[in-house]
Amino acid sequence: MKNTLKRSCDFDYVFSKGKKVVSRSLIMVYIKSPILKVGYCVSKKHGKAVQRNYVKRLLRVAFLENSKNLGNYFIAIIPKVYPSYSVKTFSEDLKYLISKENLNEDNK
């Protein structure tokens, strides 16, 4: 995905002004914006760099599956520490969070 949150100031903006929602394996912080951008925050609690990058890859796939009709938001996705991760779990939880908060542009 081309539109990703990369700059520290963008993450700071989302974390300071955004709304936070929680599921069993994910925390999502979002705020309305002119375009859709997503960022993934995987801390060192998840393991070394190889494990963290693996978790980010799973999150990207899960987000792409669920972002078809998503509105314009800055979104930060933070996974909770789990013994094992799967795209299915992340996808189900993202679908739940998106529907819970009505983030689809069809609903606006």
Q: What is the CATH number of the domain that holds 55?
A: 3.30.230.10
Q: Is residue 3 part of a domain?
A: no
Q: Is residue 108 part of a domain?
A: no
Q: Is residue 1 part of a domain?
A: no
Q: Is residue 76 part of a domain?
A: yes
pLDDT tens-place string over residues 40-71: 999 999 999 999 999 999 999 999 999 888 88
Band (92; pLDDT cuts 50, 70, 90):
very high
pTM of this prediction?
A: 0.89
Tally of structural domains, the chain:
1
| Ordered alpha helix ranges (H), the chain | 8-17, 49-66, 87-101
Q: Is residue 19 part of a domain?
A: yes
CA 85 to chain centre: 15
Q: Which domain holds residue 13?
A: 8-101
* Mean of pLDDT over the chain: 91
Task: Identify which of 104, 108, 105, 103 has the alpha carbon closest to the alpha carbon of residue 28.
Answer: 103
